[in-house]
Amino acid sequence: MEAAVFHGDKKITVATVDRPVAGPGEVLLKVRRTALCGSDTKLWIKGAEFTPGHEIFGVVQQPGHALDGRRCLVYIPVHCGHCDSCRAGDTQMCLNESVLVGWNRPGGYAEYLTVPEQCLLPVPDDIEDDIAPLLLDTIGTAAHGIRFVMPLVPPADTGPVLVTGAGPVGMGAVVALQNLGYQDVYVSDLKEERLQLAESFGAKRHPVGSHDRRFKLIVECSGSHAARSLGMEIVLPRGVLILIGESDLPWPVQENKAIRRKDFYMVRTFYFPKSDFALNVELLRKEKARYRRLVDAQFGIDQLPEMFGRFVAGELVKPLLSFA
């Protein structure tokens, strides 16, 4: 089969490798779509031991298995199912497993991969292939974070909300916020095209770096340290700054009066529990037209080196690696 190799130093090649064989408790998945994700940029730069790609949708090819022939998404956190976190429903935060599909084991920038049975999420027939991967990061990660902090900042008491970063997760946050009752949504981003897309979704633009307005809820989706630090300054007392965007770089924080002289919550969230999947499906069903607009390119694996560079440059919102 063909699979992408991330060498580091922004170099990707496509190699012919052996098709994997499912082991005990695993199934073979034939990949149909894998969405590009900004978190893979670190692998693009540093290189990857395993084939990356973690927003994976495909068809199970495991004769005799109950899900053979079924269209499924891949839930990336491998989890034990019996630790305190798993029993509480927090499958994304398993205390015994730290393996993530596409990070610590091969992912979906390839024609096939093996998947632990527990990580299969069957996709309903009314969800078409081209938007199914959005149920993972774009919808799942964004919506979970907002649901997590809703008790602290209920929509009726919150007023204007700011989303920093209008990439796929940021746009997913805009749609989720509006559906959960937060109707006055502002967005900041450096790219005019993304701001225009956010405005077409009913959001208002907020200048990057501006201190002119303060917010009870700030959803940080860019991973920018400047946006995180600004969020601490402009979040209102008893408000919430939720960190969804990622960065591996050191984050030096210079505390000042705007940060120090108030009580506020700074919350980090990670992915979503499997129990959220049905909620994610209902959100996608309700907002199919808008979510389709985020998928702005599809391409074959031979084009991945070029398309990944364009994605990192911000030319594309949510491109899909597509297999027949």
Helices 168-179/192-200 angle, 10° precision: 20
Are 74 and 120 a contacting pair, CB within 8 Å?
A: yes
Report CA-CA distances (Å) from 175 to 117, 120, 218, 245, 289. Answer: 31, 25, 15, 17, 11
Q: Are 55 and 137 within 8 A, CB to CB?
A: yes
CA dist 225 to 171, 202, 205, 266, Å? 19, 27, 20, 14
pLDDT tens column, 83-136: 999 999 999 999 999 999 999 999 999 999 999 999 999 999 999 999 999 999
In this prediction, residues 13-31 reach a mean pLDDT of 97
pLDDT of residue 71: 98
Quote the pLDDT of residue 29.
98
Torsion angle, alpha carbons of 285, 287, 289, 294, to 10: -110
DSSP string, 14-28: EEE-PPP---TTEEE
d(C-alpha 112, C-alpha 4), whole Å: 11
Q: pLDDT-based confidence at 324, cuts 50/70/90?
A: confident
DSSP 209-221: T--S--EEEEEE-
How confident is the model over 169-181, as a mean pLDDT?
Answer: 97
Q: What domains can be seen in the chain, in order of their start residue?
A: 2-130+295-322 (3.90.180.10), 139-268 (3.40.50.720)
Spatial separation of the C-alpha atoms in residues 68 and 291, rounded to whole Å? 28
Question: H helices of the chain, where?
Answer: 41-46, 84-87, 142-149, 155-158, 168-179, 192-200, 225-234, 257-260, 277-286, 288-294, 304-312
| Half-sphere exposure of residue 132: CA atoms within 13 angstroms, side-chain side | 25
Residue where the block lists tokens 């389709």: 292
Does residue 248 surpass a pLDDT of 90? no
Assigned token pair, 255? 């505390």
- Asked if 65 contacts 120 with a C-beta cutoff of 8 angstroms, the reply is no
Mean pLDDT value across residues 272-282: 97
What does the pLDDT look like over 27-73, one tens digit per residue?
Answer: 999 999 999 999 999 999 999 999 999 999 999 999 999 999 999 99
